[in-house]
Chain A
């Protein structure tokens, strides 16, 4: 499935992610990593759960309001439900042991030039690329 090349919207979205990461550090002193924020509200729940819930609710509600206000969010899922569930399970296990994902390691950690985050990001980018190649061009889904 082709998708449209959107450099300006993607750049604008990236800058917003960066502003959010900067503000979360300035206000709460926290890394804006989705794995870390989410894991804190999965039992055993972290004692500072209220701000985590507030952040997650904000992240869920904002795109809905944007759509309601007439904004466009291109969205298509060319993956079957069983593969989404399998992928989700694998992602959950991976980000737990890797202690971070695209937002935590890929944006916040890399922005701090953390060698650990750079190693993690290079590793998951390579493995994501290999997996997409295998799924699309060898298995042929």
Chain B
């Protein structure tokens, strides 16, 4: 129960941060990338603030603790490969982000106030994850021979 309350509060800080930063506002996100048009450089400050805070915070956490409070270990991604899967996936994500103006972390905190736009985006995004996952599962697990 403590872990659930803690996780909910940490999610709340995340959602509030995203919402006031402008990351949940497609008009602002698209303007950040529109250097040739109505450029709004605000998101540099989001990325800068988030990166410096997280970098210092991680140093503090990893320096002070051998394990997290509610788990036996830190779950850090073990995959170090910079391969075509990573690059093609990231490029694809960029194309979708450029079309819609929402990224996953920007969309979820907007679900409570963003109306049908963010619901349509998020629904389609979940379908995209499900499709990619099932296609990936088929590719990784070839049909059993008779």
Contacts and interface: CB of A to CB of B under 8 A. Distances in A.
User: In terms of DSSP, what is the predominant structure of the interface of chain B?
Assistant: helix
A90 B94 CA distance: 9
Contact of A132 (B24, B33, B55, B136): B33
A11 B118 CA distance: 24
Contact of B60 (A2, A22, A56): A22
User: In terms of DSSP, what is the predominant structure of the interface of chain A?
Assistant: helix
A112 B98 contact: no
B142 to A, nearest CB: 19
B84 to A, nearest CB: 10
Interface residues of A, number: 113
Interface in B37-95: 37-38, 40-58, 60-61, 65, 67-71, 73-77, 79-82, 85-95
Contacts of A43: 130
Contacts of B28: 3, 74
A81 B95 CA distance: 17
